[in-house]
């Protein structure tokens, strides 16, 4: 189990570094968007390439940060149901969800995206819009995002099993994010 936990920590470090780095893509997308808007209004001209660059940047940030979001335990879940269970049951729900839903979906996406990206790269596929960008880098980012998510899924499975076996402490103990209304009001009043 120690070797698996070391592998999991390596995945977590890579995921965290990539997740934090791609946050800058949002800023770049905003600057490209603002620059494009200014050029369009001031010079009455625009470019499909700049519009597509915005989409690529935003898509890259979203896809490449998905694994980091999973590592931080920030993916959306039904807290109303999930929060009613003991932490042990929550670990089982997470483990089974990762094994039965996340991993099959992610691996299927990787399986289909590899030839999809390869074909786009070999053909030099370009945008269908005049003056647009080449398409394969955006498709490659999609593939990279799912590969990262697959590795992070493996890391999460390893950690869940280790936590349930008592081989490690729970790094993200669940705390309900939405307290019942009565509790929230009482806490605000200092009761």
Give residue-wise pLDDT tens across range 145-160: 999 999 999 999 999 9
β-strand partners of 134: 126
- Per-residue confidence (pLDDT) for residue 46, from 0 to 100: 79
User: Which pTM value belongs to this model?
Assistant: 0.81
Quick one: pLDDT band at residue 127, thresholds 50, 70, 90?
confident
| Assigned token pair, 38 | 């200014």
| Cβ 132 vs Cβ 49: under 8 Å | yes
For 155, residues 6+ apart whose C-beta sits below 8 A from its C-beta are 7, 8, 11, 12, 15, 71
| Assigned token pair, 24 | 């800058």
For 68, residues 6+ apart whose C-beta sits below 8 A from its C-beta are 15, 16, 18, 19, 20, 152
> Cα(20)–Cα(64) distance, rounded to whole angstroms?
10
């Amino acid at each position: 189990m120690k070797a698996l936990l070391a592998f999991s920590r390596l995945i977590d470090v890579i995921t965290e570094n990539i997740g934090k780095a791609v946050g800058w893509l949002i800023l770049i997308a905003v600057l490209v968007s603002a620059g494009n808007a200014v050029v369009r209004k001031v010079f009455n001209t625009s470019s499909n390439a700049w519009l597509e660059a915005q989409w690529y940047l935003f898509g890259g940030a979203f896809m490449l940060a998905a694994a980091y979001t999973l590592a931080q335990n920030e993916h959306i879940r039904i807290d109303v149901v999930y929060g009613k269970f003991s932490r042990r049951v929550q670990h089982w729900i997470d483990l089974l969800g990762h094994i039965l839903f996340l991993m099959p979906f992610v691996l299927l996406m990787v399986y289909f995206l590899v030839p999809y990206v390869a074909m786009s790269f070999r053909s030099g596929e370009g945008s269908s819009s005049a003056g647009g960008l080449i398409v394969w880098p955006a498709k490659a980012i999609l593939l990279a995002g799912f590969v990262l998510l697959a590795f992070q899924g493996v890391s999460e499975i390893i950690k869940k099993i280790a936590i349930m076996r008592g081989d490690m402490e729970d790094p993200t103990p669940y705390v309900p994010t939405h307290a019942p209304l009565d509790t929230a009001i009482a806490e605000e009043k200092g009761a």
